[in-house]
Amino acid sequence: MAGHVEVARTKEAVYVRVTGLGNFNNAGPMREYCEKAIEEGLRSVIVDLGPCTGLDSTFMGTLMGFIGFECSGDLVAVSVVNATPTSMRAMNSLGLPKILHVKVEPVHFPECKLEVLREGWQDKKRRTLLIRDAHIALMQHDKENEARFAPFVSALVKEVRALEEERDN
């Protein structure tokens, strides 16, 4: 089940629309796009899940990771709109609605030209770091996720070290 992410920026926010599956393949490019916008001063990320058919933990953890961003003393606000029953189930299972502003009522994006982001990662280390960071964010924002993901994160940390040692040799 493939998916893609479309993005746009206005003066007020970064807009993200997830079509199909939001997963580790499209979370990385979305993270890069949003981080660049945040570094340039935007403080709002609005995610449309209307056309979304499912979310994996890496994608959801990446959204949670934006909450921790702080530039010039301002925190980043993340809002999820047009959540479907499927995406709500996934988000509820990891505690996202406790932290993110989630609206299930229909919300229309402002007029803006969305661009489709490329998918995938070329570099295994960057992909592993993305997955690790996403799951750390899930654990930090909801203690119930610690039991679920702590062993996985520990394995990812070891994998990153092994990749670094491999690169250094």
Q: In the chain, what's the furthest Cα-to-Cα distance?
A: 54
Neighbouring residues of 20: CB distance < 8 A, sequence distance ≥ 6: 1, 2, 3, 4, 51, 52, 53
pTM of structure:
0.92
In a domain, 104, yes or no: yes
Predicted confidence at residue 1, as pLDDT, reads: 54
42: closest CA among 14, 15, 4, 20? 14
Predicted confidence at residue 166, as pLDDT, reads: 82
126: closest CA among 168, 148, 156, 94? 156
Predicted confidence at residue 96, as pLDDT, reads: 94
We report the CATH number of the domain holding residue 37 as 3.30.750.24
169 residues of the chain, pLDDT tens digit each: 589 999 999 988 999 999 999 999 999 999 999 999 999 989 999 999 999 999 999 999 999 999 866 666 678 899 999 999 999 999 999 999 998 999 878 888 888 899 999 887 668 888 999 999 999 999 999 999 999 999 999 999 999 999 888 878 7
- Indicate the number of domains in the chain: 1
In a domain, 76, yes or no: yes
In a domain, 132, yes or no: no
Predicted confidence at residue 70, as pLDDT, reads: 62
Q: How many beta carbons lie within 10 A of that of residue 94, not counting itself?
A: 23
Cβ(34)–Cβ(45) under 8 Å? yes
In a domain, 125, yes or no: no
The one-letter amino acid code at 82 reads N
In a domain, 168, yes or no: no
**Phi (first) and psi of residue 23, to 5 degrees:** -145, -175
Domain enclosing residue 103, as ranges: 3-120
